[in-house]
Structure 1
C-alpha cells in the first residue's frame, strides 16, 4: 500500500468509525428518508463546490448519467435508508460490525462480474468472520427486550450491506472509470438526494426538520465530512486497490464504533458478544492476509 493510500485508509477509518453514533442522533425527530436526503444534498453541493474551485469539469458524458443514477440508487438511497432504519432497532455499533464484512460480498460480486480472484485464506477468514458476526447477533438477540424489532434491525442491516456492496463493485467497473471521479460522485450524491426526497415525500409526508443544533451539525458532518470527503477517499481506494481490498477499512472501524457505543449508549458486552467480536475481527485479518509470494511481488 502506498503512502497516499495509507493516509486515505486512516482518514476513512477515523471518519466512518464515528458516523454510527451521529446517525443515531439524526433519528430523534426526523423521518430517516429526510435525514438521508439532507445528508447527500449537503455532500453533493460540497463536492460540486470543490470541483468548481479546483477547476474540475462539472459536465458528465451523457452515457454516464444512467450508470450514475443506478449507482446512486444502491449507494445513497437503498443502502442508507436500510441503515438509518436499522439503527432504530439495534445499537449503533452492531451495523458497524456487520459492515466490517462488506469485503465478503464485495469479493464475491467482484469475482462474478469483474473476474477478480479470491484466495483460499480469504474464504477461510470470511467464514470465521461470519461465525463471529453470528455470535455477536446471537448475544444481541438473547438480551433484546423486543426480539421482533431486533430481528427487523438485523435484517435491515443485512440489506444495507448488500446494497453497499453492489455500489462498491460498480465503482470498480471499467464503466465507472469513464467519468471524472469527483464530479461523478457529486452528481450521484445529488441524484441520491433527489430520490430520497421523493421517497420521503411519498412515505413520510412533507419535509421535517429538527431545530436542535446537534441535528444541524450532524447533517453537515455526515454530508460534508462523512460523505463528500470520506466517499471520495474510499472510492479512490476502490479504484486503486480494488473493492475487496478497499473494504479492509472495515477491520478497525467496528472497534472504534463499538467503543463509542459502549461509552455513549451503554452497550453491555456479554461473553458471546466478546467472543463474536474477536472471531469477526480475527476472521477479517485472516481474510486480508496475502500469500508470501504475493507479498513479495
Structure 2
C-alpha cells in the first residue's frame, strides 16, 4: 500500500476504535435494532440522492448491505445491549481479520503465505484465552453474538473485495438502504411498538450525537475509505490495519467508562494482535525481498491503482 493509503487506513482504525464506546453510550434508553435503523437512515439519506449507485449490480449491493451493514451491526448492537463490554467487543470483533483472510483464500484465491497462517494460528490461540477467561466470569451469549457480528463483517469484506466498486462511498450509501426497514421491523417484533415509538419520542442528546458520529464518521467516512482500499488492494493487505481498532477501543472504554481489562483479556488480546501483526509485517518484508521486487518494481506495482 502507498503511504497515503496506509495513513487513511490508520484514520479508519481510530474512528472505529472510538466507535464502540460511542455506540454503547448512545444505546441507553434506545432499543438496539432501532438504533441500527436510525444510523443507516442517516447514512443513506440525503447522500443517496447525490451519488450514483455503484456499477456492480444490485445483487452485489444487496449482498454487501446484508452482511457488512445489516448483519454486522444488528448483532454488535444487540451484544452491547445484552451487556458485552465495549472494550472487549472491540477486541473480539477483530476475529473478522482471521475470518476474512480464510474466506478470501477460499472464495477469491488470495491464499495466505505459510508465515501468515502461523500468525493466524497464534492469533487464534490468543482469542481462545480471551474467550475462555471471559466465559468463566460473564454470560457467553453476548460473546457468541459478537463473534457472529465478526463473521458477518468478514463475509462483507470478501463480497466488497470481489465486487470491486469504483467508489467506496457510493457502495456504503447504497448498501445502507438494505438496513433500516429490516432492522426496524425486527425491533417492532422483538421490543413491541410501544417501546419502539416511546424511545423515538424521547431520544436523548447523547443518542442523537452517537447516531451522527456512527453514521457520518464510522459509516460514511470510515467505510467509504475502507471499501475503496478493499477494492484497490488484496484483503490480506488492508484488513490487518483493523488490529489497531481494539487497542483504541479498549483504551477508550478504560478512560471513558472505567472498563478495566482483565488479565486474560490483556494476555490473550496481546497474543492475538501480535500473531496477526507478525503475519502482516512479514508479508510486507517478503514483498521487498523477492528478486526483482526492489523499489522500482514496488513502484510499478502500486502506481496503477493510485
State TM-score, norm by structure 2.
0.85
Between the aligned partners of 2:174 and 2:122, the Cα distance in structure 1 is 38
Which of 60, 68, 74 is 2:61 aligned to? 68
Query: Is 1:80 paired with 2:69?
Result: no
1:105-116 equivalences under 5 Å are 105-116=99-110
CA–CA distance in structure 2, aligned partners of residues 21 and 6 of structure 1: 25
Provide the aligned C-alpha RMSD in A.
Answer: 2.0
Q: How far 1:65 sits from its partner (Å)?
A: 1.5
Corresponding residue of 2:241? 249
Name the residue aligned to 2:15.
Answer: 15
The equivalent position to 2:275 in structure 1, one of 283, 290, 297, is 283
Partner of 1:5: 5
Q: Which residue of 2 is the match for residue 147 of structure 1?
A: none
Residues 179-258 of structure 1 mapped to structure 2, 5 A cutoff: 180-206=167-193, 207=197, 208-209=199-200, 210-258=202-250
Write the deviation string for residues 31-58 of structure 1: whole angstroms up to 9, x where unpaired.
Answer: 1111001101111225436xx2xxx5x2
Structure 1 partner of 2:155 = 166
> Using a 3 Å threshold, how does the CA distance of structure 1 residues 270 and 201 change in structure 2: closer, same or farther?
closer
**8 Å contact from structure 1 (residues 89, 152) kept in 2:** no
CA contact (8 A) 1:36 1:81 kept: yes
1-side partners of 2:45 and 2:11: how far apart?
A: 21
- 1:221/1:293 CA distance change after superposition, 3 Å: closer
Q: What's the counterpart of residue 132 of structure 1? A: 126
CA distance in structure 1 between the aligned counterparts of 2:166 and 2:6, rounded to whole angstroms: 25
Quick one: structure 1 residues 24 and 41, their matched pair in 2 at CA, closer, same or farther if it must change by over 3 Å?
same
The corresponding residue for 1:103 is 97
User: What's the TM-score, normalizing by structure 1?
Assistant: 0.88
Counterpart of 1:152 (choices 134, 137, 141) is 141
- What per-residue deviation string (whole Å, max 9, x for no partner) do you get for residues 243-277 of structure 1? 23221122211111111122233223333232112
Structure 1 residues 45 and 138, CA gap change in structure 2 (3 angstroms):
same
Q: Give the SS at the match of 2:85.
A: coil
**Structure 2 residue runs without a partner (length 5+):** 294-306
**Aligned equivalents of 2:94, 2:66: Cα separation in 1:** 22
Question: CA offsets, 1:170-201, max 9 Å, x none?
Answer: 0011xx23665433321111222232223223
Structure-2 residue corresponding to 1:177: 164
Structure 1 residues 279, 178: closer, same or farther in 2, change over 3 A?
Answer: closer
